Structure 1
């Protein structure tokens, strides 16, 4: 397991992994339709999380993922930090070939937000070998590489 840069916030100990049942390549998409926590202003925040996972030796045990996401319910944390913590925890525990983590927050004060992290990005240490995110948009119609509206 890799080191956790956000170990103060990490709940990685709750995640369980199971051996990947095949050496063949496949993509696993996981939707977490309700992800809740307490924002930095002590108000509840709600969002959904979309995970795109390319397993290597290990895959995600989904019941432990449920326990993991529920453990943040009473945590006071910014969603920017939380998205990074979840990404880093999943990378450390499962060591996937690729992980894309997208967190879409419900409106607060009339404002929605979407955060995306992809291990394929060079800026995250990736090799941009998949590059399928190039030209794609998030739910808001923005290019996933920045703020260019499509």
Structure 2
């Protein structure tokens, strides 16, 4: 196999930078290692962001997420690292990263982080009439 895990997040220009829109990724096959036991941890990651001037390229995101497979990481630390790396790479207007980790010791763990660009305010939500 020629594809290898990588921490390089590639980007491309936002095709519609004048509009706020949400990009959502669902990554159901995330794995890392428990830093205490070395056993595998499994999670689904949800990444929602409103792009600034750039977007993250999907294959590089896949290889980036894969790069944690052999690394020991606490759930809180890995979720915050992913957030920091994405903010550095794409400088989004808004970013939310949620890691939903499978059960470990009878406990499920969800970790959610958020980033908002300085001065960015979301548009007011549009209230649609109820369906008749």
- Same-fold call, TM > 0.5? yes
Equivalent residues, number: 118
Residues 27-55 of structure 1, C-alpha deviations (whole Å, 9 max, x = no match): 11110111100111211100010011100
CA distance in 1, matches of 2:95, 2:72: 25
1:65-80 aligned at under 5 Å gives the runs 65-80=61-76
Runs of 4+ in 1 over 2 A off after TM superposition: 125-132
Give ranges in structure 1 of 5+ residues lacking alignment: 1-10, 133-150
1:16 equivalent in structure 2:
10
Compute the TM-score of the two structures, normalised by the length of structure 1.
0.72
Give ranges in structure 2 of 5+ residues lacking alignment: 125-132
SS at match of 2:89: helix
Compare relative contact order (CA 8 Å, sep 6+) and give the higher one, 1 or 2: 2
* CA RMSD of superposed structures (Å): 2.2
User: Is 1:29–2:18 an aligned residue pair?
Assistant: no
More strand by share: 2
1:95 equivalent in structure 2:
91
Compute the TM-score of the two structures, normalised by the length of structure 2.
0.81
